[in-house]
Structure 1
């Protein structure tokens, strides 16, 4: 079986991956995509609502796929509900449902395929973002609960394979809890597992990110009994490309550029600076405060990759400037926590941090851009009133600050995520509101 994961719409390696599969797969081969194939960072994914990704997958004809958090919690409900309308492959997902508890018609919990007289049972699980899925109208189930149910359905299979977008450490916990699983094909944490990892007799395999590798797993059987499990990675860096795929991608790129070449406003220009005064950062911070009805807003300047020159502003420009699948978030903080937050995001180690993941698609976080608050003689003031330690304040910020790794104490604060709107939606609406609209589209 061959597997890959976390392409994130980084299509530069896709023609190499297709070339590899075309050369190596046979009718007996299993091929799996483990989620996060689609990422709204790429204009073609954005403008087609992920349909370009499905078209590319249809050409590869995977045995099955599962979804990652980028499909699950960065796509609006309607996008995901119709993402796989034209899919020529099954989507395996055991732990995401409609809000009323019914299973979406675009996904199936389990699948059994036969190869060489073997019954191979498959099921998929994805990372349980419990606070975010309900905001988009989906219900999320604990992966272990879904796994137990799926394994009961697949109990008569000779081989059981999990398609997982849980992350390597969660995969290890799954293997410890369910040794009846034979192979976990993983994703999400972008681990490069050269030979796989054996945990509790379960082989865990993962193949990095962005299509740099294709993973291969071979099972050796004596009758219906597995006697050996082997995993390896194939580095595609030096591999040639499939030219038909190259041509297809060029056509998709051109179409996306045309569809996003829509002028929304004329502006006097907004310069950008990650470590100094940033006019475009101040514009977005002010717009975010209005969007969230907040007293204060705090964003990292690095979420805006560049500024805007004077003149026309197009949708394509905004996508280039603010590509991240990051949502607005409204925090309710007491004054002491607000001051701690403000002090932490100004630390040099924080502002110069190179962040990977959490939806961030920039380079460094940069200095904080703060709206609605000022510092005088070492004391913070909100709209002219000194911040009181035991008072509460409505603070608009970026969702990535609340997920745990960057500022763990924010994860436990009262919060509201604004979904499915992204930061660039806030930027677009702020620009349209403050400047003359040339043409809507």
Structure 2
């Protein structure tokens, strides 16, 4: 009998505080026969070093640990501009497995492969990767997206002679369960995206599904016992590395990367009188962003949660680093076309106390609570809403600038099916930067 050991982790999101501990764990436990996998969302533009290097810092860190293979998550796939992702892995010393993202013309991207076969202990191990299919967003960035089950069926046909099949998935736990139900020939699904902490994994339809939380707190370990060419036992566990002594060489590398990022983002874009911030009261910087967002989207009005602005700006110079700090979210502008009745419902819902005090995790939001809505272009008196002095007509049509996170379903499900346009790859802080620069130049000229 032989044992195949693999380590996996997922959803680091450029939270590098545990990375040196993860490296320390690998240095102690890894052998030449061990498989190591990253399951996507390693990179997140909320971190200045990821932002300023266009994700190259993440690839440099991955190169140092030599993963067997990686796949991408939605943060690499739909928050990176097309050219960033197209060149993200130019210097990668590891394979990227991804079967369901293509160039817009249908060609497979040069930086990814659909499948990979590796050999350990005389066993042929087939690997493939799939990521969450954001069907409305990938085309906006010049990519084509395919249903994961179609890509999986094709990959399994290619890997049909392998002894072991492992899926690298950034689909989320519940989608992984559906994948296991449809394809019992998969031995292990290494998952991500939903940040599940699966201490011993979950077996669905004979398929072991594993996932290791987020931010590098856990390293997942899988052991497959092989007799002949058959897998006779599958075991999964998690190792908490958050209290582990870090690898000092990695600490030094990260310190150098942080310093370089700070220097590159220390660029003054304007001088301003300062803008105060408040999540539950008047917000000068919120009003500025809401006004700029309406202009950016060519909308009649805008609705944004004040919690997207983590703090205000003091009087004086404004740098790119400041804007990144106060608005770190990988959130895109969105233009909704709503009838008046839906608009009124939207306005009422975002002002409910339960909504404004909601603590949100995911959807691109990197703040704490949503906060009170910042409304631009709309007047509210005596429970009635008006635009340009005219009360909203329930059967009218209105162009509303907002944030993409409101349209994804979990927060306001009825907005998911409304006509919309996402502005990509621009993020909210790009809108804020352009608005500040425009206003600054207008003041100087005036």
Equivalent of 1:7, from 12, 15, 27?
12
Judge conservation of contact 1:264–1:437 (CA < 8 Å) in 2: no
1:187 counterpart residue number:
192
Unaligned runs of 5+ in 2: 1-5
Deviations 1:21-56 (A, max 9, x none): 011010100000000000000000000000000000
1:397 counterpart residue number:
402
Measured in 2, the distance between the counterparts of 1:74 and 1:86 equals 20
SS in 2 for 1:265: strand
Question: What value does the CA root-mean-square deviation take over the aligned residues?
Answer: 0.8
Judge conservation of contact 1:126–1:143 (CA < 8 Å) in 2: yes
Q: Are residue 36 (structure 1) and residue 36 (structure 2) matched?
A: no
TM normalised by structure 2 equals 0.98
Q: Superposition pairs for residues 39-438 of structure 1, below 5 Å?
A: 39-436=44-441
Judge conservation of contact 1:9–1:39 (CA < 8 Å) in 2: yes
Measured in 1, the distance between the counterparts of 2:442 and 2:364 equals 30
CA drift of 1:261 comes to 0.1
Measured in 2, the distance between the counterparts of 1:316 and 1:41 equals 11
SS in 2 for 1:435: helix
TM normalised by structure 1 equals 0.99
Q: Are residue 27 (structure 1) and residue 2 (structure 2) matched?
A: no
* Count of matched residue pairs: 438
CA drift of 1:76 comes to 0.1
Judge conservation of contact 1:266–1:436 (CA < 8 Å) in 2: no
Judge conservation of contact 1:35–1:66 (CA < 8 Å) in 2: yes
Deviations 1:86-132 (A, max 9, x none): 00000000000000000000000000000011000000000000000
The ranges of structure 1 where at least 4 consecutive aligned residues each deviate by more than 3 angstroms after the TM superposition are none
Measured in 2, the distance between the counterparts of 1:378 and 1:120 equals 64
Measured in 2, the distance between the counterparts of 1:312 and 1:296 equals 29
Deviations 1:194-237 (A, max 9, x none): 00000000000000000000000000011111110000000001
Deviations 1:46-82 (A, max 9, x none): 0000000000000000000000000000000000000
Measured in 2, the distance between the counterparts of 1:48 and 1:360 equals 21
Judge conservation of contact 1:351–1:364 (CA < 8 Å) in 2: yes
Judge conservation of contact 1:266–1:437 (CA < 8 Å) in 2: no
Measured in 2, the distance between the counterparts of 1:238 and 1:56 equals 21
Measured in 1, the distance between the counterparts of 2:55 and 2:438 equals 28
Measured in 1, the distance between the counterparts of 2:302 and 2:274 equals 22
Judge conservation of contact 1:334–1:390 (CA < 8 Å) in 2: yes
Measured in 2, the distance between the counterparts of 1:123 and 1:142 equals 14
2:3 counterpart residue number:
none
CA drift of 1:376 comes to 2.1
SS in 1 for 2:90: coil
Deviations 1:409-434 (A, max 9, x none): 00010000000000000000000000
Measured in 2, the distance between the counterparts of 1:300 and 1:229 equals 46
Measured in 2, the distance between the counterparts of 1:220 and 1:116 equals 11
Measured in 2, the distance between the counterparts of 1:245 and 1:378 equals 57
CA drift of 1:283 comes to 0.2
SS in 2 for 1:58: helix
CA drift of 1:437 comes to 9.5
1:17 counterpart residue number:
22
Judge conservation of contact 1:265–1:437 (CA < 8 Å) in 2: no
Measured in 2, the distance between the counterparts of 1:378 and 1:16 equals 54
Measured in 1, the distance between the counterparts of 2:383 and 2:411 equals 25
Unaligned runs of 5+ in 1: none
CA drift of 1:378 comes to 2.0
Measured in 2, the distance between the counterparts of 1:423 and 1:143 equals 30
Structure-2 change in CA distance of 1:152 and 1:35 (3 Å): same
